[in-house]
Amino acid sequence: MGKKIRPDFYLEQNVETIAKQLLGKKLCTHIDGVLTSGFITECEAYGGINDKACHANNGRRTPRTEVFFKKGGIGYVYICYGVHHMFNIITNHKNIGDAVLIRSIEPVDGVNAMLQRRGLVSLHPSITKGPGNVCQAMGITMEHNGISLQSNTLWIEENTLIPLHEIVITTRIGMGKAAEDDGLLLRRYYINKNKYVRGKLS
């Protein structure tokens, strides 16, 4: 077991900085007695204020987005298209509304449990590629909405920093009309040449 990231890491005010630093870190869950973990290979930054594509934009504060405005260092889980769970990390101080969406991870521990949850028999990159798949493989559900990342159920561990030259920055994807202008912001980050990133290589 590694060491949990310290709480003040999540209070950094620049969400893009956090997103870059989260790459390569180890996301862990301990659910139903099973430990699963994986390195973060792809994520996206969401700014609460100047970002139309963010749920919390424009002070769009509803019961669903309530956790968004809490102090950084907790998880925000959301169901998309009625079927897919998405896992976000809330950052910055309270009432801001910044978050980082975890899009893909590279499996480390509990691979068999992940396969089982995903209903697969053999290891294939799609097991943890894409935000919906990450949550399914890790066992993350609405139960974990608002959970502290210092808990023993869901947390992130320190790991070596990914060198900047291996980080690719590009536009966000998968946001239809809502994104319009802001969907083109360069706020998606991934580790170059990693198999567990949406795109080519299947």
3-class DSSP assignment, residue 189: strand
3-class DSSP assignment, residue 126: helix
CA trace torsion 86, 92, 93, 94 (10° rounding) = -20
Of 25 and 42, which CB lies nearer to DNA in the complex structure?
A: 42
Least spacing, CB of residue 1 vs DNA, in Å: 27
Of 29 and 88, which CB lies nearer to DNA in the complex structure?
A: 88
Of 53 and 74, which CB lies nearer to DNA in the complex structure?
A: 53
Distance (Å, rounded) from C-alpha 96 to C-alpha 15? 11
Least spacing, CB of residue 176 vs DNA, in Å: 5
Of 33 and 82, which CB lies nearer to DNA in the complex structure?
A: 82
Cβ-based neighbour number of residue 152 at 10 Å: 9
Least spacing, CB of residue 98 vs DNA, in Å: 10
Give me the residues that bind DNA (CB under 7 A), please. Answer: 44, 46, 53-56, 60, 62-65, 68, 76, 78-84, 86, 88, 99, 101, 118, 126, 129-133, 173-178, 198, 200, 202
CA distances from residue 99 to 120, 122, 138, 167 in whole angstroms, order as listed: 30, 33, 19, 19
Least spacing, CB of residue 142 vs DNA, in Å: 8
